Amino acid sequence: MSDLDAKINEHFAGFVVRKDLVKAVKGNAIVPTYVLEYLLGQYCATDDEASIQTGIETVKDILRKHYVHRSEAGLIQSTIKEKGRYKVIDQVSVSLNEKTDSYEAVFDNLGIKKVAVDSGTVKQHPKLLVTGVWCIADVQYEFSEDARISPWILESIKPIQIAKVDYDHFREVRGAFTTEEWIDLLMQSIGFKPEAFGRRSKLLQLLRLIPYVERNYNLIELGPKGTGKSHIYSEFSPHGQLISGGEVTIPKLFVNNSNGRIGLVGYWDVVAFDEFAGREKTANKALVDIMKNYMANKSFSRGVNPMGAEASFSFVGNTDHNVPFMLKNSDLFEALPSQFHDSAFIDRLHAYLPGWEIDVIRGEMFSKGYGFIVDYLAEILRHLRSEDFSNRPDQFFKVSEKISTRDRDAIYKTMSGLLKLLFPDGSQTEADVEELLRLAMESRKRVKDQLARIDSTYPEVDFHYVGSDGAKRYVTTVEEEEYPQFYHLKPALDPHGEAPASTEAVVEETRASAPQTTEESPDRKAPAPQPPESSKTKALPAEGHHVFSENRKGISYQTLFGPYIAGASRIVVTDPYIRYFYQIKNMMEFVELVIRQKAPEDQIAIHLVTGPDDGNIAKQRELLDSIATACAGTGVDFTWAYDGTGTAHARDIATDTGWKIVLDRGLDIFQAPIKTEGFSLGDRMQEHRMVKGFYVTYVKQVG
């Protein structure tokens, strides 16, 4: 076990499980993760390997005997008949038969209907009336000569969810973990390996959980296929319900006027709409109107009587185009059906999660470490819904007064959700709050900036906050920094991909008005820092300070260093952390840049000053020497040496033409790639890699 796994087991014994065990027991059982982890929590919530193996066999045996496969439904029905009663694991729903004035259950996999249910069971578990609920049930068979009486009887039923959790213990134990450890624990709890994600990517994954901790929270995530957008809503919690966007009706979602029965919003904490995008899809206008009213006012009408509910909405769907195409030709909501590509609907969204920043899910990203039994965590999150953390940022920061009430409410709801997830004990620092505040403001700014493109009546908003020092700190989105020439287009374009003939002219006209690279201090965090220029242009190097946001793409050594090393005959790279293979690979890619950029007849010397890898100096030497060997005959002479003092921490690149490039991360600016069997553009092209958060300062030295 890792140190973190040992710590998790020490403080949450009995409430955590090893996440790879789900695959070990699932087999061909088509059940949500929370069902399997509920069973694993009964028998495998330990770090003792012998007990785990025994527990796995017990869970497998339970599934083998009691989980109903559709293909074996007839066999299970026969078993119930012969034994008189039998325990099954199945998805069960209940409806009222008005002709007989009785409740009847349907067992989805078992394939039996009209199962007699007593009123007490329905009162105890009202969700059964709304949709299918996974349960452990005892079913009886009693044949009757009366053909009107069903032989099937529901003797007892237990929805699969944990009975009770100690929230005070949960909050108290939070203090035993650092913020980074706690984030990693939550990542492992939702099934992911923390090492496969950068800090921002982890926070974006956890942003998906906010609808579970915030009442009436409206989140949208649009992005490429295969990024796990719907997983958190279908597998994670018994309090969330995932439905297809095309299957939504007013009676199912809100209320059935014929019988007065309330819909999904009255029984579930989260209602998620899968496959919500699709421009060819249509939606009922009355449904759209009632959704907009509910999202804004937390209520809906049944005839003349208003009704309230607390369910949060999450909309997930796939985009048809990449970000620069959408920004140039339409907007980031272009994939929505026309009825939802509506400014009033969009304005009611509290946050837009940028799905294009989420990696496609691969097997090597799944965790083998310990995490909360998801059912336990689901109950904790449900408890947190009743609390309000939205005022906590006010002790450190003041959000711009120019931001509207609706924008402010959206920012504070997102902030409250993030604080509940990461700091349920209230242990957040000023730096913690600022990080989350920037993410919350960015998530709402993404909505508001697109509204300004879609509907010209929406004014542009200055998204900034004021720190304790009184200085304004501006917030930008990653795509705004990456594509300012498209992001700041003023006119509303055709949302269905057909750009007006004047688009190119508009792009050129607005490029000059887009925020330019600024020479600000890192604390100011000024908007839209840009690399000097793309490799396709001949840029003149200039002094300046540039800050780059985590998860941004389109950055390469060429854009950062190309203009500044041009014409140099000697380049000295000082970086004490060129030690591991991936760091030495970065050095090799810098050398490749020099070779590609120089004239064939030029001779250039590159010298690296670094620190020793105390764990494996021999391998480090071998790899660095291999760069020198690879440069033979290229006109580049690569040499390296260890720092003589052993105390150097500076990271910079200096040329004999007088330029000094100061880097807080050295050459290590890219997030670690996930190893795959096949090919990845990120492995081949730096522009397709996500960067870590970093800054670079260009200084022209005199003399």
- Check whether 15 has a pLDDT greater than 70: yes
Instruction: Read off the pLDDT of each residue in 531-553 and give the average, rounded to a whole number.
Output: 74
Neighbours of 501 (CB within 10 A): 7
Residue 622: its pLDDT value, please? 94
Going from the C-alpha of 463 to that of each of 196, 438, 527, 562, the distances in angstroms are 31, 10, 10, 33
d(CA 622, CA 578): 13
Give the whole-angstrom CA distance, residue 425 versus residue 641.
Answer: 49
pLDDT band at 246 (very low <50, low <70, confident <90, very high): low
Confidence of residue 674 (pLDDT cuts 50, 70, 90): low
Q: pLDDT (tens digit, 9 = 90+) per residue, 291-327? A: 999 999 998 876 667 888 999 999 999 998 999 999 9
**CA proximity to 274, closest of 319, 307, 234:** 234
CA neighbours within 13 Å on the CB side: how many for 505?
3
From 395, 396, 399, 430, select the one nearest 414 (Cα to Cα).
Answer: 399
Would you list the DSSP string of 614-649?
TT-HHHHHHHHHHHHHHTTTTTEEEEEEE-SSS---
% of the chain beyond a pLDDT of 90: 54
What one-letter code names the amino acid at 413?
Answer: K
Is the per-residue pLDDT at 149 higher than 90? no
Interatomic CA distance for residues 597 and 189, integer angstroms: 47
CATH code reported for the domain at 166-381: 3.40.50.300
What confidence score (pLDDT) does residue 497 get?
A: 43
Has residue 430 got a pLDDT over 60?
yes
Bridge partners (DSSP) listed for residue 641: 609
Q: What is the SS3 assignment for 101?
A: coil
pLDDT band of 490, cuts 50, 70, 90: low
Q: What b/e sequence results for 32-41 when a residue is b if at least 16 CB atoms lie within 10 Å of its CB, and e otherwise?
A: bbbbbbbbbb
Containing H/E element for 302? Answer: strand 299-302
CA-CA distance, 561 to 551, in Å (whole number)?
Answer: 20
Residue 502 is predicted with a pLDDT of 38
Cβ proximity of 39 and 63 under 8 Å:
yes
For 358, counting Cβ atoms within 10 Å of its Cβ (0-12 exposed, 13-18 middle, 19+ buried), the class is buried
- 240 Cβ neighbours under 8 A, 6+ residues apart: 211, 212, 232, 233, 234, 268, 269, 270, 271, 272
Say yes or no to pLDDT of 374 above 60. yes
What's the full length of the chain, in residues?
703
Residue 313 structure tokens:
């909405």
Percent composition of the chain: helix, strand, coil (DSSP 3-state, to 5): 40, 20, 40
Compute φ and ψ for 128, nearest 5 degrees.
-60, -25
- pLDDT score at 682: 80
Write out pLDDT tens, residues 620-672. Answer: 999 999 999 999 889 999 999 998 766 567 899 999 999 999 999 999 999 87
User: What pLDDT is recorded for position 205?
Assistant: 96
Average pLDDT over residues 357-376: 88
Spatial contact of 265 and 251, defined as CB atoms under 8 Å apart? no
DSSP state of 700: E
Q: Are 517 and 529 in contact (CB under 8 A)?
A: yes
How many other C-beta atoms lie within 10 A of the C-beta of residue 429?
Answer: 11
CB 682 within 8 A of CB 688: yes
Q: In one letter, which amino acid is 334? A: E
Instruction: Write phi, then psi, for 147 (nearest 5 degrees).
Output: -65, -20
Main-chain dihedrals φ then ψ at residue 580, nearest 5 degrees:
-85, 170
| Token pair belonging to 206 | 């956890």
Q: State residue 518's pLDDT score.
A: 39
What are the residue boundaries of the structural domains of the chain, listed by start? 70-159, 166-381, 388-511, 544-700
Per the prediction, the chain carries an average pLDDT of 87
Judged by DSSP in three states, 164 sits in coil
Helices (H) and strands (E) in the chain, counts: 25, 26
Tens digits of residue pLDDT in 32-46: 888 888 888 888 878
Question: Per-residue pLDDT averaged across 400-420, rounded?
Answer: 95
pLDDT-derived band at 346 (thresholds 50, 70, 90) equals very high
Residue showing tokens 């409206």: 218
- The predicted model scores a pTM of 0.78
Alpha-carbon distance of 229 to 317, in angstroms, equals 8
In angstroms, the CA 308 to CA 218 distance is 16
Say what the pLDDT of residue 659 is.
95
Note the helical H segments in 119-178: 119-124, 167-173
Of 2.60.40, 2.60.120, 2.120.10, 2.40.50, which CATH number belongs to 70-159? 2.40.50
Strand partners, 222: 317, 354
- CATH assignment of 544-700, given 3.10.310.10, 3.30.870.30, 2.40.50.180, 3.40.630.30? 3.30.870.30
pLDDT for the residue numbered 399: 93
- Segment 114-135 shows an average pLDDT of 87
Strands 398-399 and 636-642: unpaired
Mean pLDDT, residues 224-249 taken together: 85
Beta bridge partners of 608: 573, 640
pLDDT digits (tens, 9 = 90+) for 581-616: 989 999 999 999 999 999 988 999 999 999 998 888
Q: Is 341 a residue whose pLDDT tops 70?
A: yes
Res. 573 pLDDT band, cuts 50 70 90: very high
pLDDT for the residue numbered 512: 40
Q: 203-215, pLDDT tens digit by residue?
A: 999 999 999 999 9
Residue 178 CA to residue 181 CA, distance in Å, equals 5
- The per-residue pLDDT for 361 is 85
Checking if the pLDDT of 499 tops 70, the result is: no
Handedness of CA 681, 682, 685, 688 (dihedral sign): positive
Q: Is 695 helix (H, G, I), strand (E, B) or coil?
A: strand
Q: Given this model, what pLDDT does residue 648 score?
A: 62
pLDDT value, residue 43: 87
What per-residue confidence (pLDDT) applies to 259? 75
* Cα Rg of the chain (Å, integer): 29
Buried b (16+ CB within 10 A) or exposed e, 377-398: bbbbbbbbbeeebbebbeebbe
Q: How far does the chain reach from its first CA to its final CA, in angstroms?
A: 56
What is the DSSP code string of 433-486? HHHHHHHHHHHHHHHHHHHHHH-TTSPP---EEE-TTS-EEE---HHHHH-HHH
Residue 261, pLDDT score: 80
